[in-house]
Amino acid sequence: MRPQNYSVKTGEIAGVEITVTSYNIGEAFYCQISSADPGAVISRVKSSSSDEAVRKALQFARLKLSR
Amino acid sequence: MSKYANPDVLVSTQWVDDHKEDAKVVVVEVDVDTKAYDEGHIPGALGWNWQTQLCDTVQRDIIPKDQLEGLLSNSGIANDTTIVLYGDNNNWFAAWAFWQLKIYGHKDIRIMDGGRRKWLQEGRDLSAEIPVVRISNYKASAADLAIRAFLPEVREEFQSPGTVLVDVRSADEFTGKILSPPGLPETCQRGGHIPGARNIGWGLACNEDGTFKAFDELEALYASNGVTPDEQVITYCRIGERSSHSWFVLKYLLGFPTVKNYDGSWTEWGNLVGAPVETGNGASA
């Protein structure tokens, strides 16, 4: 199996700079939100679609970082 | 990679693809995100969990010698095996494993330049299978403490003219604005840094794709902050893992003769009663 559509984007949630890493391995779509520095994992989601994986990962990250 | 002081310690993703099935090569993934290995890894690669397998889980320390021997034996690693380490986030924890394996004297260890990110970006094969291992009988050397700094030494040396401390944390941690970055639980009572330390973020040693910067860029990065090979360098961060990455760069890529990683780091110093603390900007890169 091979990873596809690997993408790294940056953004900000609650004043924290984040990186949004997404890709799929076959039919499994992954999205991980990490702090830009040093790279601690804030949320990670596996889903059946790319959009949903990103949406849920961002949602969890917002919840966690706004506490 | 040829201009690095020790070019053999880095291998490319292509080299790993070509050699991953060699009998004398064992590839090991060590991630910040300990779930990443399970979703897919380099075919034949083992996964080590830094939280449970590369730390003493009772007292705060690196893995003891007998446990390291057990880990390597159960990984099918012999004393003459070539260990190739890789991981996520610019090989952050691969460098942590590298440092510990060097402490216990393993000779041939390499890091896959660019780590997991580059492998995935290039769309190379992944596997979810955990390889079957033929257990070996690994014998580690006594710990080489020449590459590890402990608190008494740091307290004695931090203001010595021949020693420079490199704080590799983010600017906000260095200045004391925050105690720890979001998502990382280990913290401290006070924010700031060890007086006189230079702030050179660990990630500055890497390119956008996770590979290490070229020798000249790395040399300029440290030289512009007054960090040169004629001094003893002690790196530190929060718990010693980011600083093992910078230790690797200084020791193996730039070839500085005396570089130690202070793994007690800020979670030790910043919790000490009466330890001197400096806040605000120092020299930062």
Q: Tens of pLDDT along B162-179?
A: 999 999 999 999 999 999
Does B115 contact A at CB distance below 8 Å? no
Given a cut of 70, whether residue B283 has pLDDT beyond it is: no
Find residue B28's DSSP bridge partners: B46, B85
Given a cut of 90, whether residue A37 has pLDDT beyond it is: no
- Which of the pair, B203 or A67, is modelled with greater confidence? B203
Residue from B55, B188, B206, B237 carrying the catalytic annotation:
B237
Q: Which of residues 169-188 of B touch A (CB under 8 A)?
A: 169-170, 181-184
Cβ–Cβ < 8 Å for B183, A42: yes
pLDDT confidence bin for B123, thresholds 50/70/90: very high
Q: Distance from A37 to chain B by nearest Cα, in Å? A: 7
Is B33 in Cβ contact with A25 (below 8 Å)?
Answer: no
Average pLDDT over residues B238-266: 97
Q: What is the pLDDT of residue B285?
A: 47
Q: What is the pLDDT of residue B153?
A: 97
Is B40 in Cβ contact with A37 (below 8 Å)?
Answer: no
The mean of the pLDDT values for chain B is 95
Q: How many CB atoms lie within 10 A of CB B217?
A: 12
Average pLDDT over residues B9-30: 97
Average pLDDT over residues B225-247: 97
Q: Which chain B residues have a beta carbon less than 8 Å from that of A34?
A: 32-33, 89, 183
Closest partner residue to B123 (CB to CB) among A2, A21, A46 is A2
Average pLDDT over residues B131-160: 96
Average pLDDT over residues B47-73: 95
Average pLDDT over residues B50-75: 95
Is A37 in Cβ contact with B170 (below 8 Å)?
Answer: yes
Q: Distance from A21 to chain B by nearest Cα, in Å? A: 10
Q: What is the pLDDT of residue A47?
A: 97
Q: Which chain A residues have a beta carbon less than 8 Å from that of B117?
A: 6, 8, 21
Q: What is the pLDDT of residue B284?
A: 46
pLDDT confidence bin for B282, thresholds 50/70/90: low
Q: What is the pLDDT of residue B147?
A: 98
Given a cut of 80, whether residue B71 has pLDDT beyond it is: yes
Known catalytic residue at B188: no
Given a cut of 90, whether residue B1 has pLDDT beyond it is: no
Average pLDDT over residues B122-149: 96
CA A26 to chain CA centroid, nearest Å: 18
Q: Distance from A39 to chain B by nearest Cα, in Å? A: 6
Does A46 contact B at CB distance below 8 Å? yes
Average pLDDT over residues B112-136: 96
Give the pair of three-digit tokens for residue A30: 């992954």
Is A42 in Cβ contact with B120 (below 8 Å)?
Answer: no
Q: Which chain B residues have a beta carbon less than 8 Å from that of A41?
A: 32-33, 183
Q: Residue B242 — φ and ψ, nearest 5°? A: -60, -35
